[in-house]
Amino acid sequence: MKEIKAAVLKNLFKSRNTNYCPICGVHSVFLDFGRKPRPNALCENCKSLERHRLIWLFLRKKTDFFSNQRLAILHIAPEHCFMVRFDNFFEQYLSGDLNRFDVKEKIDITQINHDKESFDVILCNHVLEHIIDDRKAIAELYRVLRKGRWAIITVPLYGRTTYEDYSITSPADRLAVFGQEDHVRKYGYDIESRLTEAGFNVQIVSGSSFLSEQEIRKMRIGERSIWLCSKW
């Protein structure tokens, strides 16, 4: 029993000194997370996941995001690990969601109540898979983004081709088919065509293109990419 306890404590100590979250800046235990649990996915401290840590590093290393506090930011369905930090930093930070009460504005992404070209940066991650009329939502994101600026728009990806069936409406059936009770489709990489149809110039930026293998391993990011959608 003592040997087992010592081994657990040793692994816990090793985890705390191996895993690093760039968002909260803490060497933290990373917990397994997901319907099919992914090992070392969730930062115990700030609750960030792999995609959040990748986005944070991209914003830090590859954009002007943190160099101008006056940028007008629209953040749809804001991740908690980002929301407080962005709200404290930016003078014009708008968090929005249709159903949550901890955001600044109730926003229907298919009908955004703001003038065209109102925002410098839009963050919209893992939202479109919940939206029936995703093309209208994408068009709205394009409309309210300023020319010369960019959005990060990501979704869960399941291969090459998107699958959707609007006759599937029950939570149980959506869970079985789409992987979650409130998802309405499984996106493939052909989502790029939906983004370009709206006018976006799309660049897929892999984590390995700007992070070292050591960074990817230490921050537990895995093989993930940023979908950078620019408006010209």
Is residue 97 within 8 A of residue 76, CB to CB? The reply is yes
Residue ranges of domains in the chain, CATH in brackets: 1-48 (no CATH), 49-230 (3.40.50.150)
Dihedral, CA of residue 146, residue 150, residue 152 and residue 153, to nearest 10: 60
Task: Identify the segments of the chain with pLDDT beneath 50.
Answer: 1-15
**What CA–CA distance (Å, rounded) separates 214 from 105?**
39
Q: pLDDT at position 18, please?
A: 78
Report if pTM > 0.85.
yes
Is residue 73 within 8 A of residue 82, CB to CB? The reply is no
Q: Is the dihedral of CA 187, 192, 193, 197 positive or negative?
A: positive
Q: pLDDT at position 14, please?
A: 47
Q: pLDDT at position 8, please?
A: 41
**What CA–CA distance (Å, rounded) separates 129 from 157?**
10
Q: Which of 120, 116, 118 is nearest to 148 (CA)?
A: 120
